[in-house]
Amino acid sequence: MPSNSSVAESRSTARATSKAATGPVKRLRLPAKLRNLELFLLLIACAINAAAVVLVQLGAIGHVDLTLVYLGAGLSALVIGMHIALRFVAPQADPFLLPIATVLTGIGIAEIYRIDIHYGDAGWDSAGVKQIAWTAIAIVCALAVIIVIRNHRVLQRYTYIFGFAALILLLLPMLPGIGKEIYGARVWIGIGPFSFQPGEIAKLCLAIFFAGYLVQARDSLSMVGKKILGIRFPRARDLGPILIVWLMSMAVIVFQRDLGTGLLIFGLFLVMLYVATARISWVILGVLLIVGGAIVASQVLVYVHDRFENWLNPFAQKVYDADGGSFQLVQGLFGLAHGGLIGTGLGQGQPWVTPVSQSDYIIASLGEELGLAGLFAIFALYLVFVARGLRIGFAGQDDFGKLLAVGLAFTVGLQCFIVIGGVTRVIPLTGLTTPFLAAGGSSLVANWIIVALLLRLSDTVRNQPRLVVS
């Protein structure tokens, strides 16, 4: 008869064996479940995109031209290829980010193509086909990021290199010869027939730089000073970083005449600073700097003053009739009103009436043809995208990854607010592009790289020990 000690030892061994047997099975089931869910959502996204293109053609020209459908199928193949790569290099990555980016990009292509049809420019040199080509480039860039960057902590080693790169990218449009001014803003560079907006890539470099810098300087920035109205504000000696970023943002507004990028840079730093220090006093100081800068700029800079005038009095005759006045804003509002609740239907509206309806005002174009219900669906996709990005950040255990994920997600969220707020007259119009939807190669590449970085971060988070992410 076995002794009590031998029985206890055998039971302990059995439990250990059971854990060893079931542990790896559970770890294997989660990646497979996540990737299968992603594949299912991707197939739905690709079907929605194909249906959008077909509906545009039926509504605008009355028949289906399979050329664009075939090109869209090529993009679907690229996205599925990225999904397959994720099964090997990032098996525990978030399953929602890639499908959301896919469906938003496809809807944007369909609407851009719809406007091309009106202008009789639906051939190989049309904006819609160019958008498809840029989307392919963006997906390939995102795939390269996923494969090359196996651990996001590697980026922290090059914190100041990314900061220097961001500064160079922001200065490039100011160089004579390659800098180009389009619609009054000097934010483009042109090399031969190609043009690019380096500020879109600069925002990624700044997010990495801010994350690395704030991890190093968090202790000094968390120091408190005097207490005013119940809130402890930082010491005067610690105000240097926020003032430098504020001055850089104001320089972008003054010299490049790019109000949107200036707001985006400062807002990104302010939010990441708050997440790093948990001090509400930084937010108060940041808001005061934004308000003060806006008041001064509206009084000193003519184009900023005009933006505020168009925002406050868009229907005033002197503003509406002025060259570059509120005509675009008013036409966008009329387009949204024309769409009503359910829209006119894809291919059956008149979005081309609004200037720059393929890029800056693509939200108004979609609002006219998809209606309020369609816009709410698009906004819900953005909301889920940003929420998943913030979830990835706050679930992480390393400070750099947390700040980087929050910064990247907030970049998309803030850009959506600035663009959609300007189109709907909630805030003054700034000229930024709507992420994934608007025509523009540089914006597409930057936003798809954001998707890749968030996928990498989410895979790292789920691989961390003693951490469960649903």
Q: What pLDDT, in 10s, does the model give residues 250-267?
A: 888 777 777 888 889 889
Residue with tokens 């560079």: 189
Provide the pLDDT for residue 235.
Answer: 62
Instruction: Compare 450 and 466 and report the one with higher pLDDT.
Output: 450
CA 302 – CA 277 distance, rounded (Å): 37
Rounded to the nearest 5 degrees, what angle is found at the Cα of 40, between the Cα atoms of 464 and 75? 100
Provide the domain count of the chain: 1
Element (H, E) at 191: strand 185-191
Residue with tokens 């497979």: 32
122 pLDDT tier (thresholds 50, 70, 90)? low
**Helix, strand or coil, per DSSP, at residue 156:** helix
At 18 the pLDDT is: 41
* pLDDT value for 410: 94
In a domain, 267, yes or no: yes
**What confidence score (pLDDT) does residue 7 get?**
41
- Asked if the structure places residue 315 within a domain, the reply is no
What one-letter code names the amino acid at 48? I
In a domain, 335, yes or no: no
Q: Is the dihedral of CA 409, 410, 412, 416 positive or negative?
A: positive
Reply yes or no on whether the pLDDT at 44 is more than 50.
Answer: yes
C-alpha–C-alpha distance, residues 294 and 312, integer Å: 14
Q: What is the mean pLDDT of the chain?
A: 84
Beta strand 185-191 pairing with 179-182: antiparallel
Backbone angles phi, psi at 228, to 5 degrees: -125, 120
- Residue 30 falls inside a structural domain: no
Has residue 276 got a pLDDT over 70? yes
The answer as to whether 337 is a domain residue is no
Name the strand (E) or helix (H) holding 430: none
Does 349 reside within a domain? no
Q: Is residue 275 part of a domain?
A: yes
d(CA 300, CA 233): 30
Give pLDDT, residue 1.
44
Percent of all residues in the chain with a pLDDT value above 70, rounded to a whole number: 87
Strands (DSSP E) contained in 328-387 are none
Residue 37 reports pLDDT greater than 90: yes
pLDDT interval class at 233 (50, 70, 90): low
- Helix, strand, or coil here: 358? coil
> How confident is the model at residue 2, as a pLDDT?
45
Residues 6+ apart with CB under 8 A from 28: none
Pairwise CA distance, residues 138 & 49, whole Å: 17
Q: pLDDT-based confidence at 108, cuts 50/70/90?
A: very high
Structural domain that includes position 246: 154-296
Residue 90 has pLDDT above 60, yes or no: yes
Question: How far, in Å, CA of 341 to CA of 209, rounded?
Answer: 43
* Mean pLDDT on 346-352: 91
pLDDT above 50 for 21? no
Run of H or E residues at 278: none
Q: Residue 184 has what pLDDT? A: 67
Q: Each residue of 368-424: pLDDT tens digit?
A: 999 999 999 999 999 999 999 999 998 877 889 999 999 999 999 999 999 999 999
Question: If we measure between CA atoms, which residue out of 104, 95, 97, 36 comes closest to residue 75?
Answer: 104
Task: Say if 320 falls within a structural domain.
Answer: no
More reliable by pLDDT, 202 or 3: 202
State the pLDDT at residue 79.
Answer: 96
> Residues, the chain, total?
470
Q: Is 15 exposed, middle or buried (0-12, 13-18, 19+ CB in 10 A)?
A: exposed
Per-residue pLDDT averaged across 183-198, rounded? 76
Q: State residue 368's pLDDT score.
A: 95
